[in-house]
Each structure stands twice: as C-alpha cells, then as structure tokens.
C-alpha cells in the first residue's frame, strides 16, 4: 500500500521537511512511501479550463501528473504550517486542481505553528471534507513545546502517541478499502 506524506510549505528554510521526517520515522515499514514536496511539484495557479468537479478531462501535463500521483495513494498525511491562521496557498492550489482523486481518500493532517497549527488544521480538514476526503484526524505541533523555528524537534510523547494512532487509523481504513 502507498502512503503519501505531503509537505505543504513551498518556502525555503521551511520546517515542514523536518516535521515530515518525524512522521516518516513513525510509519509502519510495510507502507510504500511517497514523499510529496509541493515546492517541487510547483503547480501554477489553477489554469484548467473546467472545474475538476465537472469531470472533464484534464488539459495540462502538470494536472495529469498531479492526478496520477494522488490517485496512486491509499492514504495521505498532510504536513502543513499555519500561515496567518490558515493553510499555505500551495496546499489550497494542490487540492483545488483535483476532485475525484480526493473522494474517500483517508487523510490525516499534521499541523505546526505558534498555536500548534490549529488554524491550518481546521482549514485543511474543512477543505478536505468538502472535496470528499475521509479525514481521520490531526496532530498539532507547537513552537516552543514540540519544535523550534529552525526545525529541531522535541515532540511531546502525547503528540507522538496521537500520530501513531492516526497512522494506524489510516492503515486500517486503507486495508479495508483494498479488501472491500
């Protein structure tokens, strides 16, 4: 089974790659991992002629490539910072490009920021539910308590435990979907 770990921040010197590494260290080795860096995916502002919800074929290679990558996943963990109480534009754009690919995809959100990423988590969960993803829950990491602005992690045991529970939930749902 394939688990995507998506780094939502496209900024240089971001903390997201450190948080994604922490997530990766707790993933069951049975998963085939796809580390998705939205900085490298580099989707432009939405430029398809039709809304993805209309079901029309995608016209651009970058959309087709993005669709294939997300369609190949059995589950996804989104690692997102909180920017001004919300998600980064790169994550919003990545979600907006697709529709059917998100339907029933088991997703967990790992947010981070000064308020443990609470605004980003709430916005990401709302957006993902809107497009039909199966949002399994979230974990928030707080600057000062779990990590610092340079990316050094000192994650509290309860946050690590919550991540483990989320990863097991994703696996359980993905296995059931494969068997069903």
State the Cα–Cα distance between residues 143 and 155, nearest whole angstrom.
Answer: 10
Q: What is the domain range of residue 174?
A: 2-179
pTM exceeding the 0.95 threshold for the entire prediction: yes
Contact 175, 149 (CB under 8 A): no
**What is the reported pLDDT for 42?**
86
Number of domains in the chain: 1
Segment-wise mean pLDDT, segments of 10 residues, the chain, 180 residues? 97 94 97 97 94 94 97 98 96 97 98 97 98 98 95 96 98 90
Q: Tell me, what CATH number does 71's domain have?
A: 3.40.50.360
Phi-psi region of 51 (alpha: psi -120 to 50; beta: other; left: phi over 0): beta
Residues forming a β-bridge with 76: 4, 107
CA-CA distances (angstroms) from residue 118 to 16, 106, 163? 15, 20, 15
State the Cα–Cα distance between residues 21 and 77, nearest whole angstrom.
Answer: 12
């Amino acid at each position: 089974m394939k688990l995507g770990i998506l780094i939502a921040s496209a900024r240089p010197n971001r903390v997201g790659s450190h948080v994604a590494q922490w997530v990766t260290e707790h993933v069951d080795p049975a998963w085939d991992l796809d580390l998705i860096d939205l900085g490298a995916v580099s989707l432009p502002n939405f430029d398809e002629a039709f809304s993805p919800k209309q079901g029309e074929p995608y016209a651009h290679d970058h959309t087709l490539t993005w669709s294939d990558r997300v369609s190949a996943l059995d589950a996804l963990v989104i690692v997102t910072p909180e920017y001004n109480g919300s998600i980064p534009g790169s994550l919003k754009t990545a979600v907006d490009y697709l529709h059917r690919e998100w339907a029933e995809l088991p997703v967990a959100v790992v947010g981070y920021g000064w308020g443990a990423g609470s605004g980003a988590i709430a916005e990401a969960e709302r957006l993902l539910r809107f497009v039909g993803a199966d949002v399994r829950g979230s974990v928030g990491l707080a600057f000062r308590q779990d990590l610092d602005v340079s990316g050094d992690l000192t994650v509290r045991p309860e946050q690590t435990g919550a991540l483990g529970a989320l990863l097991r939930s994703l696996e359980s749902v993905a296995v059931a979907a494969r068997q069903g």
